[in-house]
Amino acid sequence: MIETEARKKAATRTARLDAVFAALADPTRRAIIERLSRSEARVTEIAEPFQMSLNAVSKHIRVLEASGVVERHRKGRDHILSINTGSLDEVDGWIERMRHFWDARLDAMERLLVELKQDPKSSHKDRKHGSR
């Protein structure tokens, strides 16, 4: 039971990562996020700078809402969009984890290079040279 719960959670997290990365893989959607990062806005305000139909912009907004990056609430007759500031945490965490691995490997390579520099003979032990 607990295992099933854990697996369900992992599946949800995977689906969320998929959705957020896919949402960010489009320049219009990234521009909408940048716009909303400055302040919340109405759908029509967001659409204004783009040379595309309101319908096309709305489609992008729906992808952003489905991914959880953008939220919508109503103020009277207006639909107001805003950023869900916690939504990039998982994506950020994933990139952070990869970097951690890479840094560890780069550090190890650096140590190896320093060692080789201090004792260059150790790098070609089995080569015989200058003894002819």
Residues that bind a copy of itself (CB under 8 A): 14, 17-19, 21-22, 24-27, 30, 33-34, 37-39, 83, 85, 88, 91-92, 94-95, 98-99, 101-102, 105-106
- Of 78 and 89, which CB lies nearer to a copy of itself in the complex structure? 89
What whole-number distance in Å separates Cα of residue 55 and Cα of residue 105?
A: 47
| In the complex, least distance from residue 27 CB atom to a copy of itself, rounded to whole angstroms | 5
What whole-number distance in Å separates Cα of residue 111 and Cα of residue 109?
A: 5
- Of 19 and 80, which CB lies nearer to a copy of itself in the complex structure? 19
CA nearest to 70, candidates 78, 61, 79: 61
Q: Could you give the maximum distance between any two Cα atoms of the chain, in Å?
A: 93
DSSP state, residue 75: E
- Of 21 and 79, which CB lies nearer to a copy of itself in the complex structure? 21
| In the complex, least distance from residue 21 CB atom to a copy of itself, rounded to whole angstroms | 4
- Of 30 and 72, which CB lies nearer to a copy of itself in the complex structure? 30
CA nearest to 73, candidates 81, 65, 64: 81
